[in-house]
Amino acid sequence: MQLDPRLPHTPREGAIYGAIICFLTSLFMTVLNVYWMMGGLHQQALLAIFKWWPLMFVIAMVIEPMLIGRLAEKAMHKLSPPTDSGNAKIMFRLIFTVFGMSLAMTSIGIMLSKGLHANFAVTLWHQWPRNFFIVLLAEALVIQPIARTAMLKLHQKTIAV
C-alpha cells in the first residue's frame, strides 16, 4: 500500500503535523475571537492575545491527540467506506476534528474569558456555530494545505537524503 506523502507516516511526523495545525488554528482563532470580544486589535487586545494564545495552543495540543483526534478517527472509519478516496477520508477527518475541537475550544475560551456563568449555554450556542464554520474554511483552504505541504517537503527531503 502506497502511503500518502502529504500525510504523516510516523508518530514523530504526526506530532509535527499536529503542532503545525494546532499552532496556526489556535493563533488564528485567538486573534479572531479577541478581535470580536474587544472590538478591534488595539493595544489591550494584543496583550490579551499574547496572554491567552499560548494557553490555547497548549490546550489544543493536549486535547486533539488525546481525545478529539481519536474520536474523529473512529467516526471517519465508521462513516467512510474503505473504497472512499484518500481525499474523502481527509475531508471526513477534517470535518469531525473541526467539529470537536471548535466545540471544545469555544467552550474553554468562554470559560476562560467569562467564567462558568448562568448564560454559558446561550453564549456557546451563539459563538460555536460561527467558530465552527470559520475554522472549517480556514482549515480546509489554508491551514491543512500548509501542514500537508510541510509533510510533502519533509518526505521529499527524506527521500533525497
- Residues 48-97 have pLDDT tens digits of 999 999 999 999 999 999 999 999 999 999 998 888 888 888 899 999 99
Residue 97: exposed, middle, or buried by beta-carbon count in 10 A (0-12, 13-18, 19+)? Answer: buried
Distance of CA 117 to the CA centre of its chain: 26
Measured distance CA(48)–CA(41) in Å, rounded? 10
Tens of pLDDT along 7-58?
A: 899 999 999 999 999 999 999 999 999 999 889 999 999 999 999 999 999 9
Which residue, among 49, 2, 13, has the nearest Cα to 152 in the 3D structure? 13
Cα–Cα distance for residue pair 93/88, rounded to 1 Å: 9
In this prediction, residue 116 carries a pLDDT of 81
**Predicted model pTM:** 0.88
Tens of pLDDT, residue by residue over 92-148, are: 999 999 999 999 999 999 998 888 889 999 999 999 999 999 999 999 999 999 999
* Structural element, H or E, at residue 81: none
Query: What's the confidence (pLDDT) of residue 114?
Result: 82
Instruction: Scan for cell 486535547, then name that residue.
Output: 63
Average pLDDT score, the chain: 92
